[in-house]
Structure 1
């Protein structure tokens, strides 16, 4: 049995050597960065819970469940880094192939839904509801779950968990990249949708779109770099775990610093009326026109015509109200009656006759 490297205690399982080997310092560095990133993600979750009652803008409040889901994905990314620091075996192999794409699909699905909602807000349209955004984010990420589950089950032939460590490194790397095609599609779609957030009349939402745009742009750069290094034979297969672990940590910190941290700063800002249409009337009709109903004659053009022919003095005001104004002739005398003297029928009854 070989002795433990410097920094590791004696009797430690050899597959954990990279966590403490001072000669291979990359493992210790990635371990520290991943641990700090995980703690920071938990701190951001707590901060969102604390600030949720201080959010004044209802449309920012609607994004909180999706952002919570996003932070859970980032927390999982930092945790998955340890599976790439530990030696590839029957335990870490299925974990790597199954969770890598699922966690990134979850994060990019949340960014995609946020960007799509911003394209509606920046144009003054009715935004998505809270449940709709959460459902869309879970729905987009579910596709990668199905893909990863089918691949892992078919590759392991249901029971052979050691197949991933037994595969030749070039074949293993090709399968790993092919398994992430849907994640690449989500990333490209998110980048395209984020670019659409810069076109609109309500500029207050464009800053949110800039956060998503920058986050996706940096993520694309990281993914192009690690896929290129993984597929070319120059660095050597001994650096495969280092490349993938570094990509996880780098992308996780991009998610926190380029998206979550700026969003927290804007979360408690006072609602700006300039970010919405007049009176926040998303459902207010833009063009008022005359209604031609059959059952309500007051709003019918036919009723207006017939009323004119019958009365001859109907006044119609087309730009004011649709109720008709008519000049009616007074038929009754509404003057106050005055007291009058009446002649008594007994005034001439005196028991005598008039002498002519």
Structure 2
């Protein structure tokens, strides 16, 4: 009898709590199990890639978003892990984790996305974003609100409201309620704060498109697409979980509905938002001037100052040169008597080479003349005679 009750694909030693993980007749469990396991591995690889890309992030405005990306990846990996709690059977541990972690993990993801929208809105309008620690504190505060709500709700519904059970003899017995004893409508109502976060992300991502710095609108578009797809997923699973399952498959479809919602939304976060964001962190864009480092702008300003100084020096040189051209001439320029000599020997060796000599205020007779030469100094009254 025990061997006949074991599903096909599961071993005889497998506990009945884990039949959905190996039951070949329940294909949804095996498919979701494979997708969730792949998502966990992929999230870990992206987490390592994010940490490895930090040394290559040159802009401080891009580096400030790394803590938010890290928290977002951790919560997304938690969504993949929580999927197994909906695949396996129900007991106190799995039901408590379902009720508590469903809203907490989604609240962490959308809190990080909302703070990313705040950062991108400031960058799109001022081109200078807030500090990383401020963004982290904002996301932590938004996430802690959901933690407090789920903790209080879980305590109130489980501890303070026990369930009255009627035994076979007709005697009423009050037993402690389990986290599994909850209506579908109550489960959805406990997630109102997460729905508010989703709508806030959609509105905030739309406002990014109104900024004047277009370089940041690309990241805003990624957030907008991811949030809109999340809205569609949440509308689908809420309608099926509250209304559709009662009319079609009954309660047996409740766990697959929530598991599909977790896996699909987590993969949307990975494919639509996380992978493009990590690629944009270290990529060289055409709009890199909006991402330039402040030290780079200081260097550009220094080079501009040097160019201005060089231009002023050139203008001063031109003005000084023009001033020197206006000065009066100081007389004829002295010309050396050897300026016409090229250093080449004349072709005729018998021709006598005559070296010109400079004469200042006197008449010099040529070589070989015998008559004396008389030189008169004008204006002095003196007469000097020289014999050549």
1:136-163, Cα deviation, whole Å (9 max, x unpaired): 0111010000000001111111797752
Partners of 1:203 and 1:275 within 8 A in 2: no
Residue 234 of structure 1 is matched in structure 2 by 247
Q: CA deviation at 1:276?
A: 7.6
2:80 alignment partner, one of 78, 88, 111:
78
Residue 163 of structure 1 is matched in structure 2 by 178
- Equivalent runs, 1:1-356 vs 2, <5 Å: 2=2, 3-157=5-159, 163-165=178-180, 167=181, 171-232=182-243, 233-235=246-248, 236-270=250-284, 272-274=288-290
Distance 1:111 1:163 in 2: 33
Q: CA deviation at 1:175?
A: 1.3
Distance 1:15 1:33 in 2: 20
Normalised by the size of structure 1, how large is the TM-score?
Answer: 0.74
- Report SS of the residue matched to 1:123: helix
* Runs of at least 5 residues in structure 1 that lack an aligned partner in the other structure: 282-356
* Length, aligned pairs only: 277
- Report SS of the residue matched to 2:179: helix
Partners of 2:9 and 2:23 within 8 A in 1: yes
- Report SS of the residue matched to 2:49: helix
Q: CA deviation at 1:132?
A: 0.3
Distance 1:147 1:174 in 2: 17
Q: CA deviation at 1:107?
A: 0.3
RMSD (CA atoms): 2.0
Report the more deviating stretch, 230-239 or 184-193.
230-239
Distance 2:73 2:159 in 1: 33
Q: CA deviation at 1:134?
A: 0.6
Partners of 1:4 and 1:11 within 8 A in 2: no
Normalised by the size of structure 2, how large is the TM-score?
Answer: 0.68
1:156-191, Cα deviation, whole Å (9 max, x unpaired): 1179775233x2xxx521111011000000000000
Q: CA deviation at 1:126?
A: 3.4
Q: CA deviation at 1:275?
A: 5.5
- In structure 2, relative to structure 1, the CA distance for the partners of 1:51 and 1:276 (3 Å cut) is closer
* Runs of at least 5 residues in structure 2 that lack an aligned partner in the other structure: 163-174, 299-388
